[in-house]
Structure 1
Amino acid sequence: MATLPEPNQGDYHISNFRFVEGTSLPDLRIHYHTIGKLREDSHGKATNAVLIMHGTTGNGANFLNDIFAGKLFKPGQLLSAEEYFLVLPDAIGHGKSSKPSDGLRATFPRYSYADMVRAQHLLLTEHLGVNHLRLVMGTSMGGMYAILLLDLRHSWVWGTRYPGFMDAIMPLASLPSQISGRNRMMRKMAIDSIRDDPQFDNGNYETQPRGLRAALHILAWMSSSPLQWQNQAPDRESADKFIDAWMDAGMRQQDANDFAFAFDASRDYDPRPGLKDISAPLIAVDFEDDQANLPELQILETEIKKVKQGKAVVVPISAGSAGHGTHTVAAVWKDYLAELLETSKVTYSVKL
């Protein structure tokens, strides 16, 4: 059985990166993984580059597992590393890219999705030599800034900010609209839980403040799958053990400053004015059991009408779904990726 292809890792350093709100960093580090080899046509245009962007508090390595890469990146699969050049960056404030916990703590620049996307555009064009994308896709936050490329959570941002830069767009588990209602309330509650905790000490804590645990409670609600969590914890005792283990892992893996900054980055996200300018084929996939992007709000179905070649899909709950986290379970939605790749096919002149 074919194994996952071995990724390459690297760091791209951007000098004097200026953030939207006016602050700057003398050295912004963007960490990334790449898999495969970049190809160009006879005019020097990249033909096989695919950008895949992660969600809030995640990182590019989150995709290097059996449920995502194992269903997409192997030989003969939809995004085979033998055919595509796959780019998996860590966004600003995440993973091994520059983030508050590196040392600046609460004085780290207050970044936004717009800053994240611009940094990734520089990574592609100035460092990796990618001047065109065959596909841009993103999960949750990563889906949001794919359309604005400045501000879907990442997919929604790339499409409106840099029209013509990609052949196809696939946002997963995200909405092309300002974050409002319960979604915004939960984010604010998480941020306030951290920053209003006396132990936070204006970001200068020595051990993780209790407020981080409260914020993780909110994240658990947003990302949970009622069906799957019921199956995994069918009685009171197993439910208590399940959530205790989930919280303990979160407290080991997360940092309060990083968490608060990451949740705050969505504050000015609103791709709606640019949806009409998206020219590339787009399939947006959401999930019926997604607690963060509730399908009954009908936001996706309403806004997708503004996208010239847009299609909205809400996948029903199934044995394989995982709530908001279904965005990484490729087996559930890969047929829509196949459809998008087929409908967005482009004929390139081969470079000899």
Structure 2
Amino acid sequence: MVFSRLGFLLTFCLVLLQVPGYAETRYPAPVEGDFVLPQFRFVSGETLPALNVHYTTVGQPRKDRSGKVVNAVVIMHGTTGAGNNFLSEQFAGRLFGPGQLLDAAKYYIILPDAIGHGKSSKPSNGLRMQFPKYTYDDMVLADYRLLTEKLGVGHARLIMGTSMGGMETWVWGYKYPDFMDALMPLASLPAEIAGRNRMLRKMAIDLIEMDPEWKGGAYTAQPKTGLTGAISSLIFMTSSPKQMQKAAPTRELAEAALAKTEARFFSSLDANDMIYQFDASRDYNPAPHLAAIKAPLFAINSADDQVNPPELGILEVEIKKVPKGRYILLPITDLTTGHGTHSNPAIWGSYLQELLVLMEKGKNVSN
């Protein structure tokens, strides 16, 4: 989630960048782990003999007299990403250090890799298109079991996420309404993935599957033509026109930026994984369940987000169903970067601070 001159073009580039070491010196060393769930049953009815959930933690759990962890913060990543993408100077360097909002000396920060992502079980591990057709509900259930069965967390102080992780945050809110003290979904909407959003996702999937080199998922080399088409769809979805124009004000610079972005994708993406990742939202729809959310919730979006454009007017309506919900729309500035604004706490950190104060005081939020 590190921004460079090209990196802010789209959020998927951000989550694929490697973690710089500088931020790691300012908070406890991250610890990675794995949790295997035997005979995991998916919403589809399919089962996996062993589902691996990979995770990263920062800080130490603090327990009460009964042995329950009382300082857990869960942060969930976006599509194609992984939990350790949050360990950047821009994100962790501004949040996890001494005296910062999510000081890892105070909080036990848990960064899971969602099903189909990072080092968790995914199609590219070997099953390819025979991998169970997972959904966001499956992701949340796997994380819930990770927390409760592996990490000893029966209640979280805060659950938050970016993009896909933001959508998972909404699901957490109504699936396990007593599990958390506060919720903060970033760059997401609590409604069915439809309209242009679904069309672009379906276009990306179709373009991969239309490539003869995809071979029904049994390719030996990545189907480059199909991936190129899918990437074109993603660039439109997640780009910031203003920032792209600033970064590439000439034809030569624009084409060079595109080539570099595509090369980054090709070095990191797997076609089958990508199909699953973009189809996992197919039955996502928190709207009918929002009244069940009990915890204070701050929903933060950016006005230049092409994935969740404010002109849809969805959040203004749906947030009224959340008893303690608040909708925050960040205006377009020279600092906002479209969908990728979700990874820059320098922009929205003041709202996180407000939510944490509210969480500590146990006050209500009015719409």
- State the partner residue of 2:91: 68
Letter in 1 for 2:275: A
Deviation by residue 1:284-314 (Cα, 9 ceiling, x = unmatched): 0000110000001111111000000000011
Q: What is the TM-score normalised by the length of structure 2?
A: 0.90
Matched, 1:34 2:57: yes
Matched, 1:113 2:147: no
Give how far 1:227 is off. 1.3
Give how far 1:46 is off. 2.6
Secondary structure of residue in 2 paired with 1:273: helix
> Does the Cα contact within 8 Å between 2:186 and 2:342 map onto a contact in 1?
yes
- Tell me how far apart the structure 2 counterparts of residues 177 and 70 of structure 1 sit (CA, whole Å): 32
- Tell me how far apart the structure 2 counterparts of residues 43 and 127 of structure 1 sit (CA, whole Å): 17
Give how far 1:39 is off. 1.2
Matched, 1:86 2:101: no
Please, which of 274, 287, 296 is the counterpart of residue 272 of structure 1?
287
- Tell me how far apart the structure 1 counterparts of residues 231 and 276 of structure 2 sit (CA, whole Å): 14
- State the partner residue of 2:355: 340
- State the partner residue of 1:55: 78
- Tell me how far apart the structure 2 counterparts of residues 24 and 45 of structure 1 sit (CA, whole Å): 30
Give how far 1:321 is off. 1.0
- State the partner residue of 2:241: 226
- Tell me how far apart the structure 1 counterparts of residues 139 and 337 of structure 2 sit (CA, whole Å): 27
1:85-104 equivalence runs, <5 A: 85-104=108-127
- Tell me how far apart the structure 1 counterparts of residues 213 and 359 of structure 2 sit (CA, whole Å): 52
Matched, 1:298 2:313: yes
Deviation by residue 1:172-200 (Cα, 9 ceiling, x = unmatched): 00000001110011011011111122111
Matched, 1:212 2:227: yes
Which range moved further: 77-86 or 312-321? 312-321
Please, which of 141, 148, 165 is the counterpart of residue 125 of structure 1?
148
Q: What is the TM-score normalised by the length of structure 1?
A: 0.94
Deviation by residue 1:288-343 (Cα, 9 ceiling, x = unmatched): 11000000111111100000000001101112111101101110101010011111
Number of positions where the alignment pairs a residue of Structure 1 with one of Structure 2 = 338
Q: Which runs of 4+ in 1 moved over 4 A?
A: none
Deviation by residue 1:108-163 (Cα, 9 ceiling, x = unmatched): 1100001111000010000001110000000001010xxxxxxxxx0000000001
Matched, 1:192 2:215: no
- Tell me how far apart the structure 2 counterparts of residues 288 and 33 of structure 1 sit (CA, whole Å): 31
- Tell me how far apart the structure 2 counterparts of residues 62 and 224 of structure 1 sit (CA, whole Å): 19
Deviation by residue 1:198-222 (Cα, 9 ceiling, x = unmatched): 1110000111112111111111111
- Tell me how far apart the structure 1 counterparts of residues 346 and 228 of structure 2 sit (CA, whole Å): 32
- State the partner residue of 2:217: 203
Deviation by residue 1:270-291 (Cα, 9 ceiling, x = unmatched): 0011100111000000001100
> Does the Cα contact within 8 Å between 2:68 and 2:152 map onto a contact in 1?
no
Give how far 1:346 is off. 5.7
- State the partner residue of 1:256: 271
- Tell me how far apart the structure 2 counterparts of residues 196 and 134 of structure 1 sit (CA, whole Å): 45
Matched, 1:5 2:28: yes
- Tell me how far apart the structure 1 counterparts of residues 93 and 332 of structure 2 sit (CA, whole Å): 22
- State the partner residue of 1:316: 331
Give how far 1:4 is off. 4.0
Letter in 2 for 1:174: S
Please, which of 190, 195, 204 is the counterpart of residue 176 of structure 1?
190
Q: Tell me, which stretches of 5 or more residues in structure 1 are unaligned?
A: 145-153, 348-352
Secondary structure of residue in 2 paired with 1:324: helix
1:239-254 equivalence runs, <5 A: 239-254=254-269
Deviation by residue 1:26-83 (Cα, 9 ceiling, x = unmatched): 1111110001111123344432100000011111011010111011000000000000
Letter in 2 for 1:109: P
- Tell me how far apart the structure 1 counterparts of residues 287 and 332 of structure 2 sit (CA, whole Å): 28
- Tell me how far apart the structure 2 counterparts of residues 155 and 189 of structure 1 sit (CA, whole Å): 26
